[in-house]
Structures are given as structure tokens and as C-alpha cells.
Amino acid sequence: MSSPATSRRVALLTLGCARNEVDSEEMAGRLTADGWQLVDADQGEADVVLVNTCGFVESAKKDSVDTLLAAADTGAKVVAVGCLAERYGAELAESLPEADAVLGFDHYAALGERLDDVLAGRAPQSHTPVDRRTLLPITPVHRPAAAQEVALPGHGTAWGPQVLRTRLDNAPVAPLKIASGCDRRCSFCAIPSFRGSFVSRKPEEVLAEAAWLATQGVRELFLVSENSTSYGKDLGDVRALEKLVPQLAQVPGIDRVRVSYLQPAETRPGLVRAIATTPGVADYFDLSFQHSSEAVLRRMRRFGSTDSFLALIAQIRELSPEAGVRTNVIVGFPGETEQDLAELERFLTEGRLDAVGVFGYSDEDGTEALGLDGKLDAEEIAARVARVSALVEQLTAQRAEDRIGTEVTVLIESAEDEDFDCTGRAAHQAPEVDGECVVLAAEGLAVGDLVRCEVTDSEGVDLVVRPIEVLPRSLPQ
């Protein structure tokens, strides 16, 4: 390996959600601006491996630690960043001596300098975690000025005309962060404590980054945040998202805009209409229901019910009958009864959702649910996960089968194989989580093409489609 005096090569490994992907690309932008060379972690050429960790639930924490340990085996210096590092700081550093440094969000502005320290054998001091909600005013409208003094990963402001971001792949879809943090107090979730209070990015910053992404070959924008439905409340406009989405759809070079992380209690009719009816916006609703029993929702510090959630889905499908709807649910929450579980099953059956992630409850440090009574044992939670998962598998497969004979617009994301088949995603399918479309007889199609297709079959949540025509590409400016 080259000496630190002549080599400053860094590999980035990203775990967790699409928000972390944005953060990694911002870190990559900072590092390349500081003269660091980005290399592939698999090539074994890195002087430093930077692991952007996830700290959401126990399984994600384990994956992050395993990745750090594997990186240490390469002989490179290993630096932990991201949510696990921010959440546990010095505690993580002490328990994981294989990591040469554990850096929190406040280190990101001078990340290149901190990696120089690591190469020189000067380990930066690990931070002491704090509840990041305490760093900003309680009142959202008082946050914009104060937020300039608080580290907000993924909010990379422009250096003049340059966007502070370097793409780490050439995929035709890219996540675009519109906000960070969360003001909700869900009893099972620790994210607000280490991601902080809710802060919106200014619309002009989001639009500028969207235009830049278009010049990088991106055709679909995937809008991400901890809670997209809160966008604009700290900017003095609770309707800001329904105004921003059509503007993004007009960015030259961008052909599809997808919104994610919607809270049902905050999803207003105007936003539903904007997503369901605006040309260039995917009629796709990623709604965080979590459960549908009123009793369980109250213990979760959330709002809603089976009937109110079904009414919201009906409102969506009245505007767009083929709209995609997905959610995550937690089963086995403390105090969940058989009646509660049956109510959730009623919602899933009547809601006809396109994709559902089913998760078993697990205790999380620093959450209210940690101290709730009525805890179920692990075996019972696993049984309930299996029961609901089996139902979901059946229901989502039926929903996919219902699409046979319809037309979908598919963004091609994989190259041809030996049978000239491609894969991509329709408007109701988000990256990674919602299934895909297998495009038959796709000779001549290329990654990044947007293709009108007919659905001829389904396989679980996946669709089998045949191309009808390639749609023209709008050119970036």
C-alpha cells in the first residue's frame, strides 16, 4: 500500500436507507474537492475505507459492525460515520477497536482533514452523542437561521455553481434529500434523537440539485427524508411539497419524480392530488401506516385507524385507480392482542396494497416503548411476523396479477441478458423494495430508457411486460 504522503485513496461503503446514499455522495463530493481519490472497496486499493453505517434497528447495527470488521481485515484504515457512529460515538469506538476513528455528523464539514489525521496516525477524538433535537429551536419557523450552525448531512449547499455531491454510481435513478430529522415522537423510534428536529431544504436548493442530477444521466428523482409530509412547515408553507413536486417534474432531463416517506396523518388532499395527477410524477404513495389498530397506534404515539386509512387509500384510487401504495407494518408491539392483529389483517386485506414490509417489534435504546408493559416473547413475535408475511405475500401477488393487461411505463435499470431481457421499474415500484418489471424481447433497449409496456404476466410482486414504444428523453440544460 502506498504511503500516506503520496496516496489519499478512499472507498465508501453505504448501509441502510436511501437517505444514507445521499449522505455518502455528499461526503464523496467533499472528499474529491479536498483532493481525495475515490476507489472501489473491492479492489483493495483504498488507504481508508469509510463506512456509512445504519443504526436504525438491531439487525442493521449488526450489519454495520460486521461491515466495519470486514473492512478492517483489508489492512486499510477504517473510519465509521453515519447513524450508528452518531448514535453511539465514543461507546462504539471503545467497543470496536478495529475502527481507526468514529466520526459524527459534526465532523463531516472537515472530513478530508479528519481522514488525513487517520492516515497520519492521529486518531480524531470520538464525539459524545447528544440528543440532536436539542440543537435547534422547538418551534419549526424559528429553525431556518439556527440550522445554518448545525450539521445536516445530505443538505450540501452549493459552492457557487457547484453542487456538493459526487455520484457513486451511474444509475438512471437517484435519491434527492428534501429534508432531515423528524418532530414526531413515535414510541418505537429513536431516529429523531440522532437525526435531530425536522429541517426542510430550501426549494431552490432542491431544484438546483435536481438540475445537476439530470446532467449526470438521472431520469428519475426519488425524494427522501424522514418525513416528507412535513416539508415546508419550517419555511412557513405547509403546502410547500405539493408546490415543489410539479416544479421538479418540469426540470429538463427529469422524466419521473417519486415521493417517499409520507405520514398518513399529515397527507393532505392537495398533496394527494399533486402526486396522483401531475404529469411526470409517479402516482406512488409510500405511506407509513405501521399498524391499523387504534389501540396499538395510540401506544405507538401515532394516529389513525383501519377505516381512516382505507378512506385515504380510496381517495388516492379515486384520482388514480392504478396508483401504487406501499407501507411498512410492525407486529408484536407491546400490548398487541389477537384482536389488534386481526384488525391489521382486515386493513391489509381490504387495502389491496402493492407492497408491504413486515417487521417484528424489537426494543430500541432510548425509546418510550422500551419501558412499556405487555411485551410479547420473541417466539410469539416471530410467529406473528410469519402469519402476516404469508398474508401479505398472497395479497400483493393478487394485486400484481390484477395489473395483467394494463400498460405501465418502465425505467430500464439493467442491461440485456443472453435472452435479450431487461429489468426495470414501473411507476408503482420504488427502488429496492417493491418488486420489478421483467421486460421480454428487449433487444435494443438500454439502461436509462423509459419504455411504455404491456403487462403480460406476474410472478409474485414482479411483473412480466412486453415493450410497446420507447418514450423520448427530455434533455437536461
pLDDT tens digit sequence for 416-440: 665 668 999 999 999 988 899 999 9
The helix (H) or strand (E) run that includes residue 222 is strand 220-224
Domain count, the chain: 3
In this prediction, residue 147 carries a pLDDT of 87
Please check whether residues 153 and 61 belong to one and the same domain.
no
422 labelled binding-site residue: no
**Under 8 Å between Cβ of 349 and 377:** no
Q: Which of 452, 453, 445, 383 is nearest to 420 (CA)?
A: 445
The dihedral through the CA atoms of 370, 376, 380, 384 has a sign that is: negative
In this prediction, residue 159 carries a pLDDT of 45
83 labelled binding-site residue: yes
* Dihedrals phi, psi of 40, to nearest 5 degrees: -80, 130
In this prediction, residue 157 carries a pLDDT of 59
CA 41 – CA 50 distance, rounded (Å): 9
Please check whether residues 112 and 175 belong to one and the same domain.
no
Long-range contacts of 116-120 (CB under 8 A, 24+ apart): 116/4, 116/8, 118/48, 118/77, 118/79, 119/4, 119/8, 119/47, 119/48, 119/77, 120/4
Please check whether residues 100 and 176 belong to one and the same domain.
no
186 labelled binding-site residue: yes
CA angle 390, 360, 285 (to 5 degrees): 70
- β pairing state of 437-439 and 422-425: antiparallel
In this prediction, residue 120 carries a pLDDT of 93
Tell me which of 362, 383, 402 is where a domain ends: 402
* 3 occurs within a structural domain: no
For residue 378, give its domain range.
134-402
Please check whether residues 375 and 232 belong to one and the same domain.
yes
182 labelled binding-site residue: yes
Tell me which of 129, 157, 182 is where a domain ends: 129
β-bridge partners, 50: 12, 79
DSSP secondary-structure letter at 383? H
CA 450 – CA 453 distance, rounded (Å): 10
| Total-model pTM | 0.93
In this prediction, residue 43 carries a pLDDT of 81
Please check whether residues 368 and 443 belong to one and the same domain.
no
DSSP secondary-structure letter at 201? P
Low-confidence ranges of the chain (pLDDT < 70): 1-6, 157-162, 416-420
